[in-house]
Amino acid sequence: MSAARKKNIAEINSDYSKVKQEQYMKQQKKRRGLYRRLSLFFVIVAVFGILIGKTLLEQRAILQEKQDRKEAVEQELVQLEQEQHRLEEEIVKLNDDEYIAKIARRDYFMSEDGEIIFNIPDDSSSD
């Protein structure tokens, strides 16, 4: 409607129209309050959702780190068990006199009676 036409329309100043107008204003005020409360509620829910998501991602990263560390430690354990097994076999061998004599001849160039040792250099040392 145009502004000129609105001026020609007279307002009804009755109690009924005032009551209806007040009811409409209260309803609008309630609706705005409801929108504000709902907006605040959704903002709070979103903040908590973000915090929970962030916490879950951090915990997942920590868990992954710990699983990687566990795998590395398990591999190290296997290597140490193999080393322990090898050392136990070495202990058993070192209790044998013939094995000790073989090591002494090899590493310290010791010989038995009537034995002659020839020292042959490696190919790599001739450079």
Q: What is the pLDDT of residues 72-124, one digit of tens each?
A: 999 999 999 999 999 999 898 888 888 888 888 778 777 777 777 677 787 77
Residue 36, domain extent: 17-112
Number of structural domains in the chain: 1
> Are 95 and 87 spatial neighbours (Cβ–Cβ below 8 Å)?
no
Quickly tell me which residue has 């040392």 as its tokens.
Answer: 125
Question: Is residue 117 one of the residues assigned to a domain?
Answer: no
Q: What is the enclosing helix (H) or strand (E) of 41? A: helix 15-94
* Of 41 and 98, more confident: 41
Quick check: pTM over 0.75?
no
Tell me whether residue 124 is in a domain.
Answer: no
Per-residue CA distances from 89 to 27, 93, 95 (Å): 91, 6, 10
In a domain, 55, yes or no: yes
pLDDT for the residue 112: 72
